[in-house]
A and B are shown apart, each in its own frame.
Chain A
């Protein structure tokens, strides 16, 4: 059974903290994605990576960075958390030939 695992289901962090969200996939997929999900706005792409050490900005990269040192792991970093980054964060992976993306269960981050 294919799997995308996000390290935390729920996180509460303070404003200004550096926050790491971790994602691991076991499908040997080249592509990995980070989305944030907010009510009424759907899923918005923050960053994606198409190979180890490769990354591209999505639609809302401001305030975020990413790291992909190994093929199976894709980390989202909030350099200095702010309250407007309170959201549900979803990680996904997909093979390179344009088929479905598989999602993790999500991390609900609250910044106080």
Chain B
């Protein structure tokens, strides 16, 4: 089955700096990827998504990069704020069109 993993379990950044969270996936046939943010005591919330026919997608302060050659996904957060402190998950839609597979998450700590 698919596996989605993260390189770093915890990331600490200074407020105002840019953050980069990485994710590796194993299924080269995966077509759709999502980044979720989970704050303490809450369910995951959608941040941004990208399909496999794209390399880059930008949202408000966030950018997702997809490198299909090495099966790598990253989330970039510009000008990181204290409200960005959370656990971030990447999710992959695998061979089964409806099923998502999640990585173990990266905890982002933003230092004031």
Contacts and interface: CB of A to CB of B under 8 A. Distances in A.
A101 B9 contact: no
B98 A58 contact: no
Given A58-B99, A98-B32, A103-B36, 11 more contacts: A33-B100, A40-B104, A42-B4, A42-B89, A42-B102, A42-B105, A56-B96, A90-B44, A96-B98, A101-B34, A105-B41
Given A42-B104, A43-B89, A98 B98 contact: yes
Given A42-B89, A42-B104, A98 B97 contact: yes
Interface string B46-59: 10010000000000
Most chain A CB within 10 A, of B1, B31, B91, B99, is at B99
Interface residues of A, number: 28
B112 interface: no
Nearest to B36: A103
B61 interface: no
Contacts, number: 58
B43 A41 contact: no
Interface residues of B, number: 27
Interface in A28-62: 31, 33, 35, 40-45, 48, 50, 56, 58-59
A31 B98 contact: yes
A104 B41 CA distance: 11
Contacts of B9: 40
